[in-house]
């Protein structure tokens, strides 16, 4: 427990949890063990309102709101400080698998098992009848949409699907701009580079691919994982990519 105190003072929560795991079977552990167990799993807020699995969550760019997507076919918007539910977005006919805010925080996109993505009005300061309105439905995929993302300028959207393709859309109109085809398995994760010039996709085919966002040309195939890739992201400077996989590893790659 002295080591646990040191770990807490050093803000090393990983070490603290390791110490707790190593001592959880000790029969004479006292109140100190339970104190540190509570501290290391302290939730700031618990958001309750969905009636099925919560599959995805994202903060608004200003950090004041949270959006969650659920198997109950709804997305909910919450006040990040109070935990109060602000909106429920209803319109999908199957579970919601991915959610994201636009860079200005005015819109939300949801990707669903109903093979569509929807764009919603989420701007604060609008009248109650406008906030939460469905603005667009993106149709074109032939299978559930597993991942959605806005470009940093908010002008484009990318979606990844179980149909083994990713699609790029015009955010204002919902017009399909590109279809990215080269993976031979579902695409679980998509992301734009910070400058909007590239897209990375992660797939169940154990690869990630980098694409030219304007033309859809494949630029790179990132190999090395031995199982599905579930998550991909660019570094803030756009020079590196990180991938997370079912093979229990994450890999950092220079782009």
Q: Are residues 121 and 35 in the same domain?
A: no
Contact 49, 34 (CB under 8 A): no
Q: List pLDDT tens digits, range 195-229.
A: 999 999 999 999 999 999 999 999 999 999 999 99
pTM: 0.84
Query: How far is Cα 174 from Cα 147, in angstroms, rounded to an integer?
Result: 16
How many domains would you assign to the chain?
2
What residue numbers bound the domain in which 109 lies?
A: 54-254
Mean pLDDT value of segment 157-183: 98
Q: Are residues 31 and 80 in the same domain?
A: no
Q: Are residues 88 and 8 in the same domain?
A: no
The structure tokens 């949270």 sit at: 66
Mean pLDDT value of segment 63-92: 95
CATH number of the domain at 196, please. 2.130.10.10
Q: Are residues 91 and 130 in the same domain?
A: yes
Indicate whether 49 belongs to any domain.
Answer: no
Tokens of 101: 């805010």
Torsion-angle region of 165 (φ positive above 0: left; ψ -120 to 50: alpha; else: beta): beta
Q: Are residues 131 and 241 in the same domain?
A: yes
pLDDT band of 44, cuts 50, 70, 90: low
């Amino acid at each position: 427990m002295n080591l646990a105190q040191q770990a807490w003072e050093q803000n090393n929560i990983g070490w603290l949890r390791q110490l707790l795991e190593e001592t959880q079977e000790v029969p004479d552990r006292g109140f100190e063990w339970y104190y540190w167990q509570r501290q290391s799993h302290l939730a700031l807020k618990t958001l309750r309102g969905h009636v099925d699995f919560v599959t995805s969550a994202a903060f608004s760019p200003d950090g004041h709101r949270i959006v969650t997507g659920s198997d109950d076919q709804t997305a909910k918007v919450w006040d990040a400080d109070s935990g109060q539910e602000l909106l429920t977005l209803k319109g999908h006919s199957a579970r919601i698998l991915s959610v994201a805010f636009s860079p200005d925080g005015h819109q939300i996109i949801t990707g669903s098992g109903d093979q569509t993505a929807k764009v919603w009005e989420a701007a604060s300061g609008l009248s109650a009848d406008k906030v939460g309105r469905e603005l667009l439905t993106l149709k074109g995929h032939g299978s559930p949409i597993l991942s959605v993302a806005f470009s940093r300028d908010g002008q484009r959207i990318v979606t990844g699907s179980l149909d083994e393709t990713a699609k790029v859309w015009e955010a204002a109109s919902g017009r399909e701009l590109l279809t990215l085809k080269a993976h031979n398995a579902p695409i679980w994760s998509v992301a734009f580079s910070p400058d909007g010039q590239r897209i990375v996709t992660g797939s169940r085919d154990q690869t990630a691919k980098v694409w030219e966002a304007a033309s859809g040309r494949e630029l790179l195939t990132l190999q090395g994982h031995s199982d599905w890739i579930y998550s991909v992201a660019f570094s803030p400077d756009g020079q590196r990519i990180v991938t997370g996989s079912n093979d229990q590893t994450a890999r950092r790659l220079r782009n």
